[in-house]
Amino acid sequence: MFVKILIICAIATGCASFKGGEIPFSKDIEVKSDNEKPSVKIDVKKYFGKPSYSFSQPIEDNNNEIASRIKSTVEKAGLFSNVSSSSHQNTPDYKIEFSIYLFNNGNTAVLAGLITAFSAGLIPVGGTDHYEITCTVTDQRSAKKAEYSNKDHVTTWIGLWFLPMTSHSPEKIENEVIENQIKDILNRMNKDGAINLTRLPR
């Protein structure tokens, strides 16, 4: 019965998500190099739980959607001549491993859903999803070059009042927040000189 009420409520009411803003908006990287840029292989994993949790559960990446979006973000950065997520690629100059951790207060989310359901959306309720991304950069000899991490969050409100805010869909805002986190890491990577912008000698 509760499940049916929640489903009806989700359809009848609106929802809107908002960026946490813990990380300033990251501009596109401007790379100036006349030399052949290095190649990179990226590996992307997503988990439910915090990095410090030994019981963090892997989240299946259906149709490689997450990996594809991050691969596109890395390509647009212009730091590399070739970006691959394939295990069949010849030895790349660098390998970047991204781990995305999602965590929230599940009990609070259930309570908020019940309040919205029983008020037919008149009482707005919100919940927050936290995203922490860790990143490890290694070279072609598997030597660790650098490690990075950052945090941000998305707060989603549910209620009749949010019906007009279709441009703030949870999926859209989540994608934008994660993309900005990746761009932040790439900018720091470029600023720190963790990536040699010239193809490494073989």
pLDDT tens for each residue of the chain, 202 residues long = 333 334 444 444 567 888 999 999 988 877 766 578 899 999 999 999 988 777 789 888 776 788 899 999 999 998 999 999 876 667 899 999 999 999 886 555 555 555 555 555 555 677 889 999 999 999 988 899 999 999 999 988 876 555 555 667 888 899 999 999 999 999 999 999 888 876 666 5
Q: Which residues pair with 84 in a beta bridge?
A: 41
CA 26 to CA 169: how far, in whole Å? 21
CA 132 to CA 149: how far, in whole Å? 7
In the chain, where are the structural domains located? 17-192
Residues 6+ away with beta carbon under 8 Å from 171: none
Query: Half-sphere exposure of residue 151, counting CA atoms within 13 Å on the CB side?
Result: 6
Options 3.40.1550.10, 3.30.160.150, 3.10.20.30, 3.30.2130.30; CATH of 17-192: 3.30.160.150
Q: Evaluate whether 129 touches 104 at the Cβ level (below 8 Å).
A: yes
The model carries a pTM of 0.82
CA pseudo-torsion sign 55, 86, 61, 75: positive
How many CB atoms neighbour CB 200 within 10 A?
14
